[in-house]
Amino acid sequence: MEQTIYWKMHRLEREHWWFVSRRSMIETVLHSRLKSIGSGSRILDAGCGTGGNLDLFSQLSCDVTGLEMEPGAAEIASVKSGKAVVIGSLPDQVPFRDESFDLIVLLDVLEHIEDDLGSLASLAAKLKPGGHLLITVPAFSFLWSDHDKSHHHKRRYRLPELVRKMRQCRLDPTYASYFNTWLFPLIALVRLLHKIRCFNTTDDLSMPYPFLNKLLTHIMSSEKHILKRGKLPFGVSIMAIGQKQ
């Protein structure tokens, strides 16, 4: 991504509705579906950006490490979280021993990488036997927008496609669901109107007015109650967990 995107993320990821809601859902899924992850577990946040999620994983009393390709973002992440953040990139520059981690999280990173299969295989190698990889990615190619272009995305996924690629890399998909479902109709409509030049969207990484930001946070975060025990049939994003075979 461009440097300006990293700086925007750094400024917004603590309070922006999308980042806050995604963290809330990830936390719920971790507690409900990965109960083996806890004190003493080793976690790698691969592509951690400016470190907005590192504190979440630290709350589990785990040994948390970040991996980031952009030195400036890595420095921000390390200072912000107090955690070690190592410079590296997928798929070939992951400077850790094989079978080192109990959990690797890859949060909206895979869509940036040309060789997504190679990246999944590389991370699977770093998992201990029985370890887990938790992934989030954007969904549905028809939602492609200027946001995807500015963030240098290579693709958006459908859930069966992501599950198939995980299996190809010896990751058994133990859970997979869409999310950001309640806001899907609105987001799809806005992006469609933008494509046909009927409506100009603002930057997806701009902060809404406080009331709207709070409302959007409440709406999206409420999906965690479904993800805790079930799945959602469609959404703007996908969350999946794969266990190393």
What whole-number percentage of the chain has pLDDT above 90? 78
What residues are paired with 64 via a beta bridge? Answer: 43
Q: What phi and psi values does residue 192 have, to the nearest 5 degrees?
A: -65, -45
Please write the tens of the pLDDT for every residue from 1-55.
556 666 677 778 889 999 999 999 999 999 999 988 988 899 999 999 999 999 9
Given a cut of 60, is residue 199 above it in pLDDT?
Answer: no
Q: Which domains does the chain have, with CATH numbers?
A: 3-244 (3.40.50.150)
- pTM of structure: 0.93
* pLDDT score for 51: 93
Decide if 63 contacts 82 (C-beta within 8 A): no
